[in-house]
Structure 1
Amino acid sequence: MKSLQRSMDLPQLLFSIMFILIMVIACFWVVKPFILGFTWASMVVIATWPLMIRLQYLLWGRRLLAIIVMTILLLLLFIIPIAVLVNSLIDNSTLVINWISQGHLSLPQLNWLSDIPMIGQKLHFSYHRLLNGGSIAIIQHLQPYLGRTTRFFFAQAGNFSRFMIHLALMLLFSVLLYWRGEHVGYGIRHFAYRMGGNRADATVLLASQAIRAVALGVVVTALVQGILGGIGLAISGIPYSTLLTVLMILTCLVQLGPLVMLIPAIIWLYWIGDTTWGTVLMIWSCIVGMLDNILRPILIRMGADLPTILILSGVIGGLVEFGMIGLFIGPVVLAVSYRLLSVWIHEVSAPNEDIDTTIETLTDN
């Protein structure tokens, strides 16, 4: 019987690899403008897919009606608020930094320090000695850097249109993924199964669960804390409450919590003598600050049965290394690696729990 096996043709193999690499690079170059929008759309669709299926069931099984409702929800709850908040962040930050850089900033007197028992007089004297000796020099030294920051925010305002284009692409890709979600998901699973069998298929499913856990446990908690904290700031009469709300949501996303913004606001209210609203905001801040300890673990467990510390570590590391999209990349990488490592370890039987017997076995050998 004639053998079908041929000897390896090295030039053919090299040219085949070169052709595949060129095609991969060319494809990446073509889709590069759409990668960010498609990535965000994938995260949003994966996180909200159970909601869309539920809506389809309630709307007489009509996928089109469910997609229309989900599109309206994305516009009202996600895209329009983000666009307004980013625009407000750029505009308000530019005004504040312009005001500071033009020399209007002066350090507070903090005369209430003298009312603190026992150490108040000493603190008041030390602070005013520092204030009288170097406040003007400190402000003059900071103004050039504040001016550079002002120019930076002016530059970011020019990128706002690009940001809106990414949001529009995200909405378009979200509609397409909602419409063909099962086919796209099955295609990805099929590709993973072709690459690595059942384990690769399970990895894809685990990645989707991790994305849903992050969306529910981290993003939703950050939005709830930021919005509730912003309501407290607005009611208490804190200026630039919209800007502070945006910053509060960001601090909640990076796991610093809302108190980073709320505590200075409380101090400012007491400083200007508005002790009533300062006390109200302090009580409200305690409630908002403790909310993540209750809400976040519950929501993470709803998305995936993964350790909370694993999700939070992935969120922080992903944000540091990849920016906002790292909010999902970090937890997915850690969750998949954790599960694969766990499966690999449990492929063999557990070691003997009797330590003395194990040591004796080594000694006998």
Structure 2
Amino acid sequence: MTDKTGDNEQVFNRRIIDIAIKLGALALVIVWCFQIISPFIMIVIWAAILAVALFPLHSKLSRLLKGNKKFASIIIALLGISIIAVPSTNLASSAFDSAQHVYTEMEAGTLKIPKPNDSIKDWPLIGEKLFQLWYESSQDIQTVIEQYSEQVKGLSEKLLSAAAGIVGGILQFIASLIIATVFMTKSTSLHNGVSKLTRRLMNESGDRTINTTIATIRSVATGVLGVAAIQSLLAGVGLMIAHIPGAGVWAIIVLILAIAQLPPIIILGPIAAYYFSVADTTPAVLFLIFSVIVSTSDAFLKPLFLGRGMNIPMLVILLGAIGGMLMSGIVGLFVGAIVLALGYELIMDWLNQKTLNKESASKHKTEY
């Protein structure tokens, strides 16, 4: 009896050790694979988001081209690169050149600051202090730089770093767009695979989760991110035409404000006031009118991009955009907003499902 018990314990211990070794090896392989693909995760996620958002357009093009999905994908890729990547590259180049120019002139002591307009004194809260600092900088910039040397040096380095980050973000966007076109070409097989996975994980809730994911991605991508990107590009082009220093950086700030559903005039307004102090009246007035048009453009762009049906709180999108940008740069700005919005929608869907199930059970019990 004792021998049998001892043999059973040995077999059990061997099985435990065998399972532990197998699980350890499996965990090692999974962690290793994750580390290998981790640099590409954000690009692939953004590619999947683009594929879902652009799929209706891809379907229409495929029908026009008699079912040629590959050619439709090539057209979308070329259009996306020409419409988004080319202007963005120009903005990034402008931001990099401006930051480098300011940094070089600061180091050489040749930076010239125009005199401020007296109207700046009337700005609330910061008007007097800003005017005084601006005026001192226009008289003797070297003294001001020496007085705030650490802050100026840190700001210059951050501007250069931000400009380099913009370039990297554009390259990531191009790579994601190319991958997205491949996803759209293989849409049927990919959709079947994802459906099998969600059904395996969530049983009967799998299909509803896929539908919620698709609806959320398209709603946020078109109603918020699409409009914000257009406003940012328009603002950037106007800033470049007006030769505003750091046009690319200001365009990125406009993008963040637009995603947060804040009017771009918060940034473009002070820039327009600055432009009045350095330019003639006519171009300054035109730039001010342009700034107002860009800031109010979402009023007709959102209905055009079908963003009115979205019930996701703007705070969720704002936190997602800022958190994503802090984590992964420019691409993270878009991915973070959509992923957090998707998480919010899935949680709310799950909570509503639980409530509906309880109400249905209670009703059934009462009828019974």
TM-score (norm 2): 0.75
The one-character-per-residue Cα deviations of 1:167-222 (angstroms, maximum 9, x if unpaired) are 45424422321221221122112111101112133223212221111110112211
- Report SS of the residue matched to 2:148: helix
- For 1:173 and 1:199, the matched residues in 2 are separated by 28
- For 2:68 and 2:94, the matched residues in 1 are separated by 38
Give the direction of change, closer, same or farther, for the CA distance of 1:224–1:172 in structure 2 (3 Å limit).
closer
1:129-278 aligned at under 5 Å gives the runs 138-154=144-160, 166-167=172-173, 169-233=175-239, 237-240=242-245, 242-243=247-248, 244-272=250-278, 274-278=280-284
Question: Unpaired runs of 5+ in structure 1?
Answer: 1-6, 351-365
Q: Percent identity?
A: 19
Which residue in the other structure is 2:323 paired with?
A: 321
Give the direction of change, closer, same or farther, for the CA distance of 1:336–1:294 in structure 2 (3 Å limit).
farther
The one-character-per-residue Cα deviations of 1:78-97 (angstroms, maximum 9, x if unpaired) are 33333333333222222234
1:340 paired with 2:350, answer yes
- Report SS of the residue matched to 2:316: helix
1:81 corresponds to which of 61, 78, 87: 87
Count of paired positions: 335
- For 1:196 and 1:209, the matched residues in 2 are separated by 18
Give the direction of change, closer, same or farther, for the CA distance of 1:246–1:322 in structure 2 (3 Å limit).
closer
- For 1:287 and 1:129, the matched residues in 2 are separated by 31
Give the direction of change, closer, same or farther, for the CA distance of 1:138–1:16 in structure 2 (3 Å limit).
same
Q: How far did residue 54 of structure 1 move?
A: 0.5
Q: Is the 8 A contact 1:97 1:149 kept in 2?
A: no
2:310 corresponds to which of 298, 301, 306: 306
Give the direction of change, closer, same or farther, for the CA distance of 1:218–1:102 in structure 2 (3 Å limit).
farther
- For 2:149 and 2:212, the matched residues in 1 are separated by 50
Q: Is the 8 A contact 2:48 2:183 kept in 1?
A: yes
- For 1:27 and 1:125, the matched residues in 2 are separated by 55
Q: How far did residue 53 of structure 1 move?
A: 0.4
1:107-146 aligned at under 5 Å gives the runs 108-112=115-119, 138-146=144-152
Q: How far did residue 330 of structure 1 move?
A: 1.6
1:284 paired with 2:286, answer no
- For 1:333 and 1:279, the matched residues in 2 are separated by 44
Give 1:328's aligned amino acid: I
- Report SS of the residue matched to 1:144: helix
**Mean Cα displacement is larger for which, 144-153 or 212-221?**
144-153
The one-character-per-residue Cα deviations of 1:283-310 (angstroms, maximum 9, x if unpaired) are 33333222324433663547xx43042x
Give the direction of change, closer, same or farther, for the CA distance of 1:111–1:157 in structure 2 (3 Å limit).
closer
Q: Is the 8 A contact 2:312 2:345 kept in 1?
A: no
**Mean Cα displacement is larger for which, 239-248 or 155-164?**
155-164
